[in-house]
């Protein structure tokens, strides 16, 4: 894998404004990926997802080891394109092609702007679409970073089966999710640790509480075991976590080569 100097600060300079959406006493309804969220989304991810950059670097290492030159990588729920932008830099010598799919026009507008700002238009493409109806047969790798948790649990098995069927033999799925523990005491402690993480990054108690309220009916996490079982039921025979931080986990799932 190509060694590069971190460019995160440069990207953040173009990424948008600081997340202050929940610095209010009242919120209006559930969390929605609208234009207001798109404007602050990169900052929100950076301050809300533990070790976000390390996970992307780990994904780059995995893809660099497992995929052939010229492979297609599809990011389902790509949001503002940050993951694909960084992968295209870290894996430049692999000449991969990248496609990001999302159903938020505001997110995609920002993704395309960032690709243009960093001269990545030729290798990065973005498409407006329903990821649960993905139709990209022969894809070498799918990315599902903190996306499955926003799909209703009843539809997850069917969706993952569709992803599996669109993968080429030997292809991989990267799944990153917020998770729960079925041990109530541990689950409570993990949530407390996570809230402390967010406070250390500048979020107030009010912001944390209001965002949790907004996400309550939208983000529905499963346990580590439940996510593993979903992947195995979809057909993946090799399923292993490659990163975990308390109530966040990333899996590598591999489709059999034959």
CATH number, domain containing residue 213: 3.40.50.150
pLDDT computed for residue 29 by the predictor: 54
How do 167-180 and 238-245 pair as beta strands? unpaired
Is 3 part of a structural domain of the chain? no
**Alpha carbon separation from 100 to 35, 65, 107, 125 (Å, rounded):** 18, 21, 11, 6
Range of the domain at 206: 31-254
Contacts 24+ apart (CB under 8 A), 197-205: 197/50, 198/47, 198/48, 201/47, 201/48, 202/47, 203/47, 203/48, 204/23
Is 24 part of a structural domain of the chain? no
Is 138 part of a structural domain of the chain? yes
Rounded to the nearest 10°, the torsion over CA 179, 225, 229, 148 is 0
Mean pLDDT calculated for residue range 33-37: 59
Is 241 part of a structural domain of the chain? yes
| pLDDT tens-digit series, residues 133-178 | 999 999 999 999 999 999 999 999 999 999 999 999 999 999 999 9
Is 177 part of a structural domain of the chain? yes
Is 25 part of a structural domain of the chain? no
Residues 6+ apart with CB under 8 A from 196: none
pLDDT top residue among 15 and 62: 62
Q: pTM to 2 decimals? A: 0.87
Total domain count, the chain: 1
Residues 6+ apart with CB under 8 A from 41: 16, 19, 33, 79, 80, 107, 110
Is 78 part of a structural domain of the chain? yes
Is 6 part of a structural domain of the chain? no
């Amino acid at each position: 894998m190509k060694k590069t100097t971190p460019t995160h600060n440069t990207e953040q300079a173009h990424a948008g404004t600081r997340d202050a959406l929940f610095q209010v006493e009242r919120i209006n309804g559930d969390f929605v990926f609208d234009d207001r969220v798109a404007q602050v989304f990169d900052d929100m991810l950076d301050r809300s997802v533990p070790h976000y950059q390390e996970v992307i670097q780990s994904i780059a290492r995995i893809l660099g080891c497992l995929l052939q030159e010229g492979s297609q990588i599809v990011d389902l729920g790509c949001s503002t394109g940050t993951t694909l932008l960084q992968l295209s830099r870290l894996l430049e010598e692999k000449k991969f092609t990248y496609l990001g799919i999302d159903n938020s026009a505001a997110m995609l507008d920002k993704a395309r702007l960032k690709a243009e700002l960093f001269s990545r238009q030729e290798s990065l493409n973005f498409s407006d679409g329903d990821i649960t109806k993905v139709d990209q047969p022969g894809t070498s790798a799918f990315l599902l970073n903190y996306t499955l948790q926003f799909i209703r649990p009843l539809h997850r098995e069917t969706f993952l089966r569709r992803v599996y069927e669109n993968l080429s033999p030997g292809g991989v799925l990267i799944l990153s999710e917020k998770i729960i523990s079925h041990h109530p005491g541990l689950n409570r402690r993990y949530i407390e640790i996570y809230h402390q993480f967010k406070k250390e990054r500048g979020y107030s108690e009010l912001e944390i509480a209001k965002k949790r309220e907004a996400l309550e009916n939208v983000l529905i996490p499963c346990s580590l075991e439940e996510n593993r079982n979903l992947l195995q039921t979809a057909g993946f025979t090799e399923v292993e976590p490659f990163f975990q931080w308390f109530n966040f986990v990333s899996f590598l799932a591999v489709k059999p080569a034959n």
